[in-house]
Every structure is written in structure tokens, then in C-alpha cells.
């Protein structure tokens, strides 16, 4: 009986163990790679930590870098809960940032709160439309969501790029970007001269809301049920098509927020090609966080630390900033392969 009792903790412990093991393995392997190439892993890692935590400002920047990753990670986790793979966050966040920026520009002169609320709403709607369309094709035409999402990523990227290279380009600017949304409409900085803004609170609130959404609401339960066993969900009265579309649309809205907060927290305008592949990193964040909203926050922080520390690592230890992509790529490969962790366990004479 004792043994049975322990069993119920296994999923949770398993999740933690798998994620921790994946991070550890990827760090070890990264260290090995650095050592082989001729760098000092110890110097690199300590420089990275220095860069991420060395001062109040660097901590603030670390958090600032984590914010978009929290949003996009939540967006990916949201669909994963419903058994759908959203690789389209990139397109959704471009659309979100774009619609938010043009809304703000159109509303210049209105009260700050009105501009922010309407622009955020427009940004979420923009992302939701792209995601929802993707979901619609899946639900109504049974078209694989992954391939459509990849196509939509490019279509959205080029679509927004067209506007900021042409009709909507900031007057007199050489850079492909829109006019400013207005300095006064930007999110408040939590620490001056850093990238940390109130977007952090929005991101954390989104995580909490998402947690309660899945734990407490019927809609969240239905989405999870569809993800776990679509046929059983259907038998219990859940309408499949609309649930799939809704799941993708909400995820698109959250992805849209990634773009919106970049515009309103950092750049102040829609800049062509501003995303360094957040949409793909988001998949890694969600998988590492095991689709748990708080897990997503933690893994976004981890990735944020890597991003923020990479510059310091680069000039202290001489390693390219791209080393963090190596680490992130390895994390995603390891964490997506729980069987590998089990397999290594067996190798160590476990069960």
C-alpha cells in the first residue's frame, strides 16, 4: 500500500526530474562543447551569471528579457494543454505587435489608459485572428496545424514588413518601422533605464490567470479534456470544432501580447523583423515548463538569464553569444525526450 501511495506523486516528480535533468544535461554537454572548442566553461558560466545578476540593472534586464518568453511560452503551453502544437506564435506575435502599433498611432492624443487598453485589445485580436484561422483550418478541414502555422509565420512576417517598408514607414526614417506609439503611452519602467516594465506584472498575471483558467473553469477543463482524449470529451458534450478554434485563438492572443509588450515596453514602434525567433523559443519554454504556467515562468526566467548573460559571457570568456542557442537547443531536445532520461536512469542501475 505504501508503494501505491507514492505512485501518485510520480507524475509531478517525474516532470521536475525530467526538466531538471534536461537542463543539467544540456549545461554539461554545452560545457563539453565549449571545452572541446577551447573555451573555459567555468569562466563562461560565471560570466553569464555575472551578466545576468551582477547588478540591480542587470537583474532588471534579465527579467525584462524573460517577459516576452513568458508570454510566448504561455501561448505554446496553452495549445499544448489542448493537444495542439502551435508553432505559429511567430506570425501571431508579429500580427499582434503590428495591429497594436497602428491602433496606438491612430489614437494619438487620446488619454494614455485608453490608448493602452485599446491597443492591447487590438494586438490580442490580431494574434487571435491569425491563431483562430489556423485553428479553423484544423477543425473544419483537418489540415495539419503545424504546416499551416509555418506558412502563416512567413505570410504574416512579409505582410507586416510590407506596411512598414512602404505605406506605414515612419516619415524620414531609414529603418523599416512605424511611427512611435508615443513616449507617454509606453508602459512604466519599474527600474529606470532598464528594459523592465510593468509588462512583467502583466506576464505574471497572465500565468496566474492561465493556471486558474485550466484548474477552475469549465472552458479550461474542456480544452484539457480535448487534449487528453478528444473522443471522451466529445462524448461528454464538448463541441470539438469550436474548442479547437478557441484554443488556437486564445493562444494567438497571448502570443499577440508578446509582440504588444515588446512594442509598448521596449521599442515604442513596430520594427520590421523585431522578433529573434521568440515563437520557436516559446516552444522550448513551454516544453521545459511542462506546460504548467508557473513552470513556464521558471523556464522563461532560465532562458532570460541565458539571454541577458550572453553578452558578458561573450566578451569575458570569448564564447559567441550564440552559445545560448546551443544550450536552448539541447534543452529542448533533452526535455522532449523523457525516454532518454529514463534510459539513462536504467543505465545507472536503476529499475
Partner 1 sequence: MNNLMQLISLNMVFTTLRLAIPLTLASIGGVFCERSGIVNLGIEGMMLFGAFGAVAGTYATGSPWLGMLVAILVGGLVGLLHATLCVRFRTNQAVSGVGINIFASGLTVVLCRAIWSSDGISGDVEQIPSVTVPLLNKIPLIGPFFTNQSPYLYFTVAIVAVSWFVMYRTKVGLRLRTIGDHPKAAATAGINVTRYRYAAVVLCGMLCGMAGSFLSIVQSNLFVKEMVAGRGYMALAATIFGGWNPLGSFLASILFAFAQAIRMNISLNIPDQFLQMIPYLLTMLVLMGVGRKVKGPQAAGDITD
Partner 2 sequence: MLAVEMRGITKRFGNFAANDGIDLLVEKGEIHCLLGENGAGKTTLMNILFGLYRADEGVLKINGESVTGHSARKAFQMGLGMVHQHFMLVDALTVWENVVVGNEPGKFAIDRKDSIRRVQEISDRYHFDLNVTEKVSELSVGMKQRVEILKTLYRGAEIIIFDEPTAVLSPPEVLQLLDIFRDMKKQGKTIIFITHKLNETKAVSDHVTVLRAGKSLETVATADVTVDSLASMMVGHDVSLELQREPSRPGETVLELKNVRLLPNAQSTVSMEIREGEIVGIAGVEGNGQKQLEELILGFQKCREGSIYMMGDDVTRWSTRKRCGKGIGYIPSDRHQRAILPGFSIQDNYLLGNQFSPEYVKNGMIRRKFLHERTLELMKAYDVRAVDEKQSAGSLSGGNQQKMVLSREVGKDTRFVLACQPVRGLDIGAIRYIHEILLDLKKKGKGILLISAELTDILQLSDRIAVLYKGEILAMRKNEDYTTDSIGLLMAGQKGGQ
Where does this chain bind partner 2 (CB under 8 A)? Answer: 4-5, 7-8, 11, 215-219, 221-222, 224-225, 228-229, 231-239
Chain center to CA of 27: 21
Nearer to partner 1, 109 or 166 (CB): 166
Q: Is 75 left (phi over 0), alpha (psi -120 to 50) or beta?
A: alpha
Residues 215-250: b if buried by 16+ CB within 10 A, e if exposed: eeeeebbbbbbbbeebeebeeeebeeeebbbbbbbb
Among 3-11, 153-161, 182-190, 260-268, which window interacts with partner 1 (CB under 8 A)? 153-161
3-state SS, residue 87: coil
258 CB contacts (<8 Å, ≥6 apart)?
Answer: 68, 71, 72, 75, 89, 93, 96, 97, 275, 278, 282
Rounded CA gap, 41 and 46, in Å? Answer: 8
All three cell numbers of 48, joined, read 553569464
Nearer to partner 1, 47 or 107 (CB): 47
Residues 55-114 that bind partner 1 (CB under 8 A): 85, 87
**Nearest residue to 58 (alpha-carbon basis) of 188, 195, 164:** 195
Work out how close the CB of 212 gets to partner 2 at its nearest, in angstroms, rounded to a whole number.
9
Nearer to partner 2, 127 or 220 (CB): 220
Work out how close the CB of 18 gets to partner 2 at its nearest, in angstroms, rounded to a whole number.
15
Is 296 an interacting residue with respect to partner 1 (CB under 8 A)?
no
Nearer to partner 1, 262 or 272 (CB): 272
Q: Are the CB atoms for 148 and 134 separated by under 8 Å?
A: yes
Work out how close the CB of 5 gets to partner 2 at its nearest, in angstroms, rounded to a whole number.
5
271 CB contacts (<8 Å, ≥6 apart)?
Answer: 164, 175, 176, 177
Q: Using CB distances below 5 to 8 A depending on partner kind, what does residue 211 bind out of partner 2, partner 1, none? A: none
Q: Using CB distances below 5 to 8 A depending on partner kind, what does residue 327 bind out of partner 2, partner 1, none? A: partner 1
Q: Which of 20, 162, 232, 241 binds partner 1 (CB under 8 A)?
A: 162
Q: How far is CA 235 from CA 63, 225, 228, in A?
A: 44, 11, 13
Q: Which of 38, 109, 192, 237 binds partner 1 (CB under 8 A)?
A: 38
Q: Which of 127, 220, 314, 317 binds partner 1 (CB under 8 A)?
A: 314
Residues found in the chain: 351
Q: Which of 21, 23, 89, 137 binds partner 1 (CB under 8 A)?
A: 137
Nearer to partner 2, 237 or 347 (CB): 237
Q: Which residues bind partner 1 (CB under 8 A)?
A: 33-34, 37-39, 85, 87, 137, 141, 143-144, 146-148, 150-155, 158-159, 161-162, 165-166, 277, 280-281, 283-284, 287, 314, 318-330, 332-333, 336-337, 339-340, 343
Amino acid at each position: 500500500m505504501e508503494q501505491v501511495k507514492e505512485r501518485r506523486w510520480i507524475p509531478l516528480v517525474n516532470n521536475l526530474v525530467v526538466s531538471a535533468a534536461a537542463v543539467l544535461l544540456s549545461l554539461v554537454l554545452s560545457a563539453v562543447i565549449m571545452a572541446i572548442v577551447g573555451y573555459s566553461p567555468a569562466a563562461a558560466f560565471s560570466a553569464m551569471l555575472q551578466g545576468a545578476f551582477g547588478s540591480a540593472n542587470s537583474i532588471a534586464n534579465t527579467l525584462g528579457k524573460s517577459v516576452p518568453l513568458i508570454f510566448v511560452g504561455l501561448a505554446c503551453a496553452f495549445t499544448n494543454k489542448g493537444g495542439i502544437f502551435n508553432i505559429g506564435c511567430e506570425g501571431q506575435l508579429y500580427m499582434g505587435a503590428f495591429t497594436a502599433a497602428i491602433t496606438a498611432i491612430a489614437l494619438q492624443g487620446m488619454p494614455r489608459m485608453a490608448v493602452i487598453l485599446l491597443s492591447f485589445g487590438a494586438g490580442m485580436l490580431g494574434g487571435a485572428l491569425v491563431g483562430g484561422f489556423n485553428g479553423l483550418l484544423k477543425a473544419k478541414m483537418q489540415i495539419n496545424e503545424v504546416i499551416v502555422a509555418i506558412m502563416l509565420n512567413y505570410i504574416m512576417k512579409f505582410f507586416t514588413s510590407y506596411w512598414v517598408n512602404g505605406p506605414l514607414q515612419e516619415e524620414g526614417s531609414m529603418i523599416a518601422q512605424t511611427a512611435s506609439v508615443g513616449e507617454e503611452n509606453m508602459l512604466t519602467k519599474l527600474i529606470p533605464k532598464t528594459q523592465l516594465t510593468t509588462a512583467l506584472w502583466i506576464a505574471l498575471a497572465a500565468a496566474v490567470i492561465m493556471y486558474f483558467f485550466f484548474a477552475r473553469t469549465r472552458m479550461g477543463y474542456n480544452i484539457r479534456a480535448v487534449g487528453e482524449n478528444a473522443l471522451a470529451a466529445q462524448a461528454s458534450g464538448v463541441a470539438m470544432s469550436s474548442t479547437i478554434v478557441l484554443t488556437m485563438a486564445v493562444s494567438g492572443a497571448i502570443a499577440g501580447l508578446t509582440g504588444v509588450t515588446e512594442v509598448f515596453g521596449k521599442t515604442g514602434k513596430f520594427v520590421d523583423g523585431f522578433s529573434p525567433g521568440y515563437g520557436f523559443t516559446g516552444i522550448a519554454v513551454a516544453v521545459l515548463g511542462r506546460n504548467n504556467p508557473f513552470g513556464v515562468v521558471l523556464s522563461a526566467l532560465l532562458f532570460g538569464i541565458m539571454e541577458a548573460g550572453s553578452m558578458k559571457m561573450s566578451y569575458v570568456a570569448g564564447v559567441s553569444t550564440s552559445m545560448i542557442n546551443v544550450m536552448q537547443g539541447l534543452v529542448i531536445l533533452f526535455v522532449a525526450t523523457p525516454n532518454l532520461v529514463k534510459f539513462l536512469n536504467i543505465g545507472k542501475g536503476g529499475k
